[in-house]
Copies of this chain bind each other. A is one copy, B any other.
Amino acid sequence: MGRWEPDAPERLVLAALDLFTEQGYENTAVAQIAERAGLTKSTFFRHFRDKREVLFGGQEVLAEMLTSGIAGAPEQAGPLAAVEAALVAVSAGLTEERRAHGPQRLAVIAGNVELRERDALKMVGFSTAMAEALCRRGVPELEASVAAELGVLAFRRGYHRWLENGGDFAEVARRTLREVRAAVAGLEGGE
């Protein structure tokens, strides 16, 4: 098994997604995932806390990227420019490998209400991470919350677009955030 070890998480993810798709998330046990991947249960648990973690692993890393993107934005950047920097920073975590799994992962989540709940809280986590990072830059709390919500909206839309069309996530996210900002301007202009 030793020589396969570097690939273990990837093999477990592929095996899990296939099983979730074939027989449903609820009906899949960790032992089956490990077996399908040709690995042991203890290898599974070395990489993932539980089967849900296969779908949501890496959340802390992405949140941390968002946070450092905001912290590292130029001092004179306004809140939305800092949010843009966050989305650009997070693109480092959105690899081709992740994109390859993306559609199957989304389909599994969409088919299970518990997973949709988990996913919703993940987005709340991203929003909170960005809002807190903005507050640390001196942005007033409500403006920080609004900017973070707009950032999460751009993140979600950009993510779907990126899964569909590929390309560099940073570029896709920048474009999506520009569109979100235009929509915001349209909203207030329209009344």
Identify which of A36-44, A62-70, A93-101, A146-154 touches chain B: A146-154
Say whether A1 faces chain B, with CB atoms less than 8 Å apart: no
Q: For chain A, residues 153 to 191, give those with C-beta under 8 angstroms from any C-beta of chain B.
A: 153, 157, 179-181, 183-188, 190-191
Q: Indicate whether A60 reaches chain B with its CB closer than 8 angstroms.
A: no
Assess whether A79 is in contact with B187, with CB atoms less than 8 Å apart.
Answer: yes
Interface-forming stretch among A4-12, A14-22, A26-34, A116-124?
Answer: A116-124
The minimal Cβ–Cβ distance linking A187 to chain B, given in whole angstroms, is 5
Residue on B nearest A176 in the bound complex, by CB: B142
- With an 8 A cutoff between CB atoms, is A80 at the interface? yes
Q: How far is the CB of A12 from chain B (nearest CB, A)?
A: 23
Minimum C-beta distance from A13 to chain B (A): 21
Which of B124, B149, B191 is within 8 Å of A120, CB to CB? B124
Q: Is A50 an interface residue (CB 8 A)?
A: no
Bound-state Cα–Cα, A80 to B157, Å: 21
Task: Say how far A106's CB is from chain B's closest CB, in angstroms.
Answer: 14
A78-B187, A187-B78 are known contacts. Are A180 and B146 too (CB-CB below 8 A)? yes
| Pair A143/B191 contact, Cβ less than 8 Å | no
- Does A140 touch B at the CB level, under 8 Å? yes
Q: Is A71 an interface residue (CB 8 A)?
A: no
Known: A78-B190, A78-B191, A80-B191. A183 touches B143 (CB 8 A): yes
Q: Are A183 and B117 in touch, CB under 8 angstroms? A: no
Nearest CB on B from A83, distance (A): 9
Q: Give complex CA distance A188, B116 in Å.
A: 32
A108 within 8 A of B: no
**Which residue among A113, A123, A181, A191 has the maximum number of chain B CB atoms within 10 Å of its CB?**
A191
